[in-house]
Amino acid sequence: MMKLTPVYTLAILLLSAAGAFAQSSNKLIRQGNEQYKKKQYTDAEASYKKAIEKIKLL
């Protein structure tokens, strides 16, 4: 079995975190879309802005 070096371990952790941010931003976008369909425009705008902030962190 191959031994993981600290560099590889860190890379795996960072990629996992990036995937989690992407999933949560996608969830916020879908939430915003549903709010928009229900004519909850202010709430939809807030959801979209939160998604944008999460994407900027990537």
Any long-range contacts for 22-31 (C-beta under 8 Å, 24+ apart)? 22/55, 22/58, 24/54, 25/51, 25/54, 25/55, 26/51, 28/54
At residue 32, the pLDDT reads 93
Q: How far apart are CA 25 and CA 55, in angstroms?
A: 7
Reading the chain (58 residues) residue by residue, the pLDDT tens digits are 456 666 666 666 656 666 665 668 889 999 999 999 999 999 999 999 999 888 887 5
Evaluate whether 48 touches 12 at the Cβ level (below 8 Å).
no
pTM value is 0.64
